[in-house]
Amino acid sequence: MKAVICAELFDGTSVEIRKDWTLLVDQGNVVTSGPFSDVEIPEGAEVVDSGSLTVLPGLIDCHDHLASFGYETASRWGLTEQRTHRDMRIASVLKQTLETGYTTIRDAGGLAAGFRDAVDEGLVPGPRLLVSLGIITPTGGIGEHISPSGYGTPFPEDPSVPSGVANGPHEMRAKVREMVRSGADVIKFAATGGASSRGGLEPKDMLISEEEIDALVDEAHKLGRKVMCHALGGPGLRAGIEAGVDSIEHGTFLHEDPELLQLMAQANIFFAPTFSVYKYHGERGTPHGRRRSAELRDDHVSSLLAAMEAGVKVVSGTDAGGWLHGNNAEEIVCLVDAGMTPAQAILAATRTAAECIGRENDLGTLEAGKKADLIFVDGSPLVDVTGLQHGREVSLVMKEGNVVYDARDGLGRGQD
């Protein structure tokens, strides 16, 4: 058993800081949470004292791409390095992500279920993973391996990450079943173009029919899988919401239709705006990406504010695919910049994020019965969240009661 002594604790159950608090941890779970004066520490318990550090729940990223390393076609398709080299790179990113305070990641496309299983088995250090495998899309949509030249992928599809291409309701159902057979925890599909799309795909262009969406969502829910819907605006956004998806990814133009926001709030559909990847494209992307990101910025912020006002639950998701690996907390900073308070943004990466991924019963807050995922942070993140970037002020990470990173001995990340 461990006794975690917290001078200041943000446990995720409210926006308040608890002072002089104690958490008792046993067999990976929090078993007791209460004021230091009220909690008796069992004889022989290992005491972990936070000192002047603030204790938070382990962070959750609801939209990551851990297998992607850049946004050029060659690197996205894995053409720039051998497969084993790429897999070792993914393992390195998993460790890096965990050490910066992220104990749970929902991958939104490209990562094989084997990485989840390897982390669970303890073969490699990393956050617990939920994977979607391939992004389901009709021919010509986001997720199909077609290069700007018109040529398709030059190598066979990876059976551990099946192609997501499907056409018609029947194929949509079959594709969902194939993803589940291959280990998918969640189903992801694209309803519209994206911020960086080319080839005639605009952010409001609908890529998939209502009948296809209905079939996909119905089949996923029958198999107990939540559905992530990539949609920026237009009829594809509405079709996804009306079909009962579980989260809207990006949602740039949500503010244009207040009725959709009301539908989302009523149906408990979550919103992952993924501001940070748009920031990347605006600062470091192609000329097309920089221009598109600038065009979308005001709409994106307006959609966040409108969603919050309507009671839609907002979650933190980076859409990381290279630049953001190891800096997942950039999204927390972006949420604050767009109008959230620091406490709201941290909740979006803890309690609300756990609800979004269907793990609210064991993740997201530090209370009795939940997994003992916690981080020690220097400073006061409820005043200034920028210290979470790159894990700069994260001094200790605990996952299921085990200390998996501890910088209090003066060693930096990656050192032994």
- The string of pLDDT tens digits covering residues 235-287 is 999 999 999 999 999 999 999 999 999 999 999 999 999 999 888 777 776 77
Quick check: is 180 in a domain? yes
Q: How far apart are CA 209 and CA 365, in angstroms?
A: 39
Residues 29 and 71 in one domain: no
Residues 18 and 158 in one domain: no
Q: How far apart are CA 128 and CA 117, in angstroms?
A: 9
- Predicted local confidence at residue 290, as pLDDT: 76
Task: Tell me the per-residue pLDDT of 158-205, one tens digit each, with 9 for 90 and over.
Answer: 889 999 999 999 999 999 999 999 999 999 999 999 877 666 688 999
Count Cβ atoms below 10 Å from residue 156 Cβ, excluding itself: 6
Query: In whole angstroms, how large is the CA radius of gyration of the chain?
Result: 21
Mean pLDDT, to the nearest integer, of 130-151?
84
Mean pLDDT, to the nearest integer, of 6-22?
97
Residues 260 and 319 in one domain: yes
Q: How far apart are CA 65 and CA 72, in angstroms?
A: 14
Residue-wise DSSP of 206-274: B-S-HHHHHHHHHHHHHTT-EEEEEE-SHHHHHHHHHHT-SEEEE-TTGGG-HHHHHHHHHHT-EEE--
Residues 219 and 130 in one domain: yes
Phi, psi for 229 (deg, rounded to 5): -115, 110
- Predicted local confidence at residue 355, as pLDDT: 99
Residues 381 and 296 in one domain: no
Quick check: is 139 in a domain? yes
Residues 188 and 98 in one domain: yes
312: CATH: 3.20.20.140
- Predicted local confidence at residue 154, as pLDDT: 60
CA 193 to chain centre: 20
What mean pLDDT is reported for the chain? Answer: 93
At 209, the amino acid letter reads S
Q: Which of 129-143, 145-159, 237-251, 400-414 has the highest mean pLDDT?
A: 237-251
* pLDDT band at 411; cut points 50, 70, 90: very low
Residues 70 and 52 in one domain: no
* Contact by Cβ (8 Å): 181, 174: no
- Predicted local confidence at residue 74, as pLDDT: 65
Q: 155 pLDDT exceeds 70?
A: no
Q: 17 pLDDT exceeds 60?
A: yes
Angle at 265 between CA 192 and CA 255, to 5 degrees: 50
CA 128 to chain centre: 11
Residues 160 and 40 in one domain: no
Number of domains in the chain: 2
393: CATH: 2.30.40.10
Could you say which DSSP state residue 6 is in? E
Quick check: is 414 in a domain? no
Parent domain of 36: 2-57+365-406
Query: Token pair of 198, please?
Result: 């080319």
- From its phi and psi, is residue 30 left (phi > 0), alpha (psi between -120 and 50) or beta? beta
Residues 73 and 153 in one domain: yes
Last residue of a domain, one of 318, 333, 356: 356
Q: 365 pLDDT exceeds 70?
A: yes
Sign of CA dihedral 359, 365, 394, 356: positive
Count Cβ atoms below 10 Å from residue 146 Cβ, excluding itself: 16
Task: Tell me the per-residue pLDDT of 293-308, one tens digit each, with 9 for 90 and over.
Answer: 788 899 999 999 999 9
Query: Token pair of 398, please?
Result: 């605990």
Quick check: is 415 in a domain? no
Quick check: is 412 in a domain? no
Quick check: is 413 in a domain? no
The region of weakest confidence among 193-207, 214-228, 358-372 is 193-207
Residues 334 and 387 in one domain: no
Residues 129 and 29 in one domain: no
Residues 395 and 371 in one domain: yes
Q: How far apart are CA 308 and CA 295, in angstroms?
A: 22
- Predicted local confidence at residue 71, as pLDDT: 67
Intra-chain end-to-end CA distance of the chain, in Å:
26
Find tokens 């940070």 and name the residue.
276
- With a pLDDT cut of 70, the percent of the chain lying above it is 91
